[in-house]
Amino acid sequence: MTRGCKFSFHVAIVIAAITYIYLSTVFVFIDRWFGLWSSPGMLHTVVFTFLALMCISSYRLAIYTDPGRVPASFVPDIEDATNPIHEIKRKGGDLRYCQKCSHYKPPRAHHCRICNRCVLRMDHHCVWMNNCVGHANYKIFFVFVVYAVTACVYSLVLLLGSITVDSQNDIDDSDRIIHVISGLLLVPLSLALGFFLGWHIYLIVQNKTTIEYHEGVRAMWLAEKGGQLYSHPYDIGVYENLTAILGPTILFWLCPTTGHVGSGLRFQTKYDRLIVTSAPD
């Protein structure tokens, strides 16, 4: 399912950054280090162009893919054995109902105040994509981060290599400015995206969303306070957690496509009995 996309200043910044990094890497770093038309230069150009194309395609898909809508006809059935988890409100004990959307919310769904609707398995609203990250586009978003980190680190290595060559030869003022700007851009970007990638690898392995992680911290504290052990109800094992997000075929884990199998309202759990979990209103 696709969605319309309004112009966003943050999206424009990301596109400008991708364009600048690609042009400076190919026509400055690779050209000065190896020579653009030499065999090593052409090889590095092909590899980096592939990474750039994967970044652009996955970023575009993440923006335009609808993260997942709750069907208007959805009504929780607490007697349905195929859907063993039913979240309730912390206050009142009722099943979760969105007053703004005027329908019940299935497990892991949350209302986004920016998109003004409920999103299935919502992780967060990403201003850099002008879209929510949810059930239908989480894998695409993750793949984009993987390729973005790889491209930034690769470009940074080529930058350092071209600086080594430039220190032995004369360098134009314009190229020196490009090196400085690129260094100021690539170093913090590589660190930030690297941390972000590690964070989402942790979430995928645990089968958590960012929202569920913060909720789990509080739930764990309350459980320990009551002398109980807290267990994340959606954790079905490392490999099963990975395949639930990235898909069953390892060879396609880094392809910018959705990895989910089944409908958006089907959620796997390690329990085979009814579980009532505490969820925000």
Residue position matching structure tokens 């390892």: 250
Active site (annotated) includes residue 255: no
Please give the distance of CA 68 from its chain centroid, rounded to a whole number. 15
Tell me whether residue 225 is exposed, middle or buried, using C-beta atoms within 10 angstroms of its C-beta: 0 to 12, 13 to 18, 19 or more: exposed
Catalytic option among 98, 101, 112, 126: 126
Please compute Rg for the chain using Cα positions. Answer: 23
- Tell me the residue type at 22: Y
Contact present, 122 and 211 (Cβ < 8 Å): yes
SS (H, E, C) the chain: CECCCCCCHHHHHHHHHHHHHHHHHHHHHHHHHCCCCCHHHHHHHHHHHHHHHHHHHHHHHHHHECCCECCCCCCCCCCCCCCCEEEEECCCCCECEECCCCEECCCCCEEECCCCEEECCCCEEECCCCEEECCCCHHHHHHHHHHHHHHHHHHHHHHHHHHHHHCCCCCCHHHHHHHHHHHHHHHHHHHHHHHHHHHHHHHHHHCCCHHHHHHHHHHHHHHHHCCCCCCCCCCCCHHHHHHHHHCCCHHHCCCCCCCCCCCCCCCCCCCCCCEEEEECC
Residues involved in catalysis: 126
